[in-house]
Amino acid sequence: MKARNPRTGEEDYEFAVTSREEIASEAARLRAAQPAWEAMGPEGRAAVMMRFAAVIEAAAPSIAAALSVDTGRQAVSRIEVQGCAGNIRGWAAKAPALFASLPSEVEQSFTPGVEIVPAYSAYPLFGAICPWNFPVILSHIDAVPALMAGCAALVKPSEITPRFVEPMREVLAQVPELPLAYIMGGPEVGQALIEEVDYVCFTGSTATGRKVAEAAARQLIPANLELGGKDPMIITASADPEWAAGVALRSSIVATGQACQSIERIYVARDIAEPFLAKLVENAQAVEITYPDPSSGHLGPFIFSPQGAKVQAHIDDAKAKGARVLSGGQIEELGGGTYLRPTILADVTTEMAVMREETFGPVLPVTIFDDIEDAIAQANDTEYGLSAAVLAGSMEEAARIGSRLEAGAISLQDGAMTSMVGDAANESRKASGLGPSRMGNSGLLRFLRRQSLIQQTGQAITIDAYAEGARG
């Protein structure tokens, strides 16, 4: 397969697709290695994972360089690699205590003379199907806790952003004890992965997530899905409008808005709407795209060029239905890349696609409200429930409103914090996901299967107890 450079528009990278036979062989190799890996115990695995993090840090320049070509962004690529190593270190430090906290005491059964001893074992082979928007972080966000739980891990990165795999395979060669492997290709490789693993995690669109869930159901394996979002932000009358404008802009446009936790709908109280919008437009117009110099500016190109066309279609639909464009609003094709400056839309309505569907771009549709109850109802009026945010004059006010929003994680006095806070457990609502939280303790514990050792300490009954006419 070939991969496209999002800055030049050229298909300048080629990689080998992993065949069905190679996938089966890799899965068999990992399964064979998994028992010894699990037998190392959490402390032993943590020591190996710490070495894994150190080798990643040593190779960070080459990993980030490959990643920056695939994504068209440099600073975020460096942050991603650093974040991946930090995630590994965090789970390695936390896992031993998590295992120690698991219930281990003998339980007395309701059945007389019977005791129950809890035991735990990891799913042998974990699989991940990963997206293109944060290729390094999201290819490891589930695999790392799975490995720390004792699983072997088979990961399929996105075929849109494959270049980082080459330096990462060089990293893995330096940590041979680690039962982790990457397989490459399109949807057919993802399907093959599901047929080989015992537990699958998917990050991506809701439409594709449904297909993954159906395929996993046919295999009778758990599917953990982190899907799309249409995250709202409520800004109350007591909030400082200039501060709110800065938070709202950053929360919406980082990584060119190509993040599931980006703020995609803004509801601002009428009392501060005018100064808020004025400052929001001012801030937006100060944002620079990273063209022609990729080392200067804030917003890179769309990684996946068809996404730019989808975002433009949302903007055009909103304009046709009466929305006003206060800044941005038009895709720019520059040097083969597809760019969009921060786009602020006013006078939006719920009939517009930009208010109903995931946009996944640097677009900020703003709705003015008069009543906080109406704002909460509008924020909850969506098929999604990934995350949300509230900005108010006090934390207490923000918390009161935030607790009523139908989403898994609510940022208070900030926005899109799930991209920065990895230990806050949350479970997506509605069409935004399925299964336990990937954050918090459950991020690891979901990969352990509970086993009960049922001990008969009395006299085992004989077949005569079931004889017809036997006394009860």
Res 20: pLDDT: 98
226 is catalytic: yes
Q: Classify residue 193: in a domain, yes or no.
A: yes
74 and 119 belong to one structural domain: yes
> How far apart, in Å, are the Cα atoms of 320 and each of 58, 144, 194?
52, 46, 43
316 and 446 belong to one structural domain: no
Res 472: pLDDT: 54
| CATH number of 397's domain | 3.40.309.10
Can you state the percent helix, strand and coil of the chain, rounding each to 5? 45, 20, 35
| CATH number of 118's domain | 3.40.605.10
Specify the pairing of strand 387-391 against strand 231-235.
Answer: parallel
414 and 307 belong to one structural domain: yes
CA dist 107 and 45 (Å) reads 29
> How far apart, in Å, are the Cα atoms of 462 and each of 113, 470, 471?
15, 12, 14
Q: Which pair of structure tokens corresponds to residue 370?
A: 């008069």
Q: Classify residue 470: in a domain, yes or no.
A: no
187 and 252 belong to one structural domain: no
Q: Which pair of structure tokens corresponds to residue 45?
A: 């695995």
Burial of 161 (0-12, 13-18, 19+ CB in 10 A): buried
Burial of 191 (0-12, 13-18, 19+ CB in 10 A): middle
CA dist 211 and 195 (Å) reads 13
333 and 385 belong to one structural domain: yes
Specify the pairing of strand 107-108 against strand 114-122.
Answer: antiparallel
215 and 246 belong to one structural domain: no
Q: Classify residue 429: in a domain, yes or no.
A: no
Q: How far is CA 341 from the centre of its chain?
A: 25
Res 366: pLDDT: 98
Q: Classify residue 273: in a domain, yes or no.
A: yes
Sign of the C-alpha dihedral computed for residues 180, 184, 190 and 193 taken in this order: negative
Q: Classify residue 442: in a domain, yes or no.
A: yes
41-58 vs 75-100: helix axis angle to the nearest 10? 170
| Bridge partners, residue 186, by sequence | none
Q: Classify residue 432: in a domain, yes or no.
A: no
Q: Classify residue 469: in a domain, yes or no.
A: no
Tens-place pLDDT, residues 75-130: 999 999 999 999 999 999 999 999 999 999 999 999 999 999 999 999 999 999 99
**Total tally of structural domains belonging to the chain:** 2
CA dist 137 and 83 (Å) reads 7
Q: Classify residue 461: in a domain, yes or no.
A: no
161 and 239 belong to one structural domain: no
281 and 390 belong to one structural domain: yes
110 and 172 belong to one structural domain: yes
Q: Which residues of the chain have pLDDT under 70?
A: 470-472
Burial of 375 (0-12, 13-18, 19+ CB in 10 A): buried
DSSP 257: G
Active-site position among 26, 226, 264, 427: 226
User: In a 3-state reduction of DSSP, which class is residue 84?
Assistant: helix
189 and 281 belong to one structural domain: no
Q: Which domain holds residue 221?
A: 2-227+438-455
Q: Which pair of structure tokens corresponds to residue 219?
A: 């295999």
Q: Which pair of structure tokens corresponds to residue 408?
A: 């898994």
Tens-place pLDDT, residues 359-406: 999 999 999 999 999 999 999 999 999 999 999 999 999 999 999 999
156 and 260 belong to one structural domain: no
41 and 165 belong to one structural domain: yes
Q: Is residue 427 within 8 Å of residue 407, measured between CB atoms?
A: no
CA dist 243 and 324 (Å) reads 23
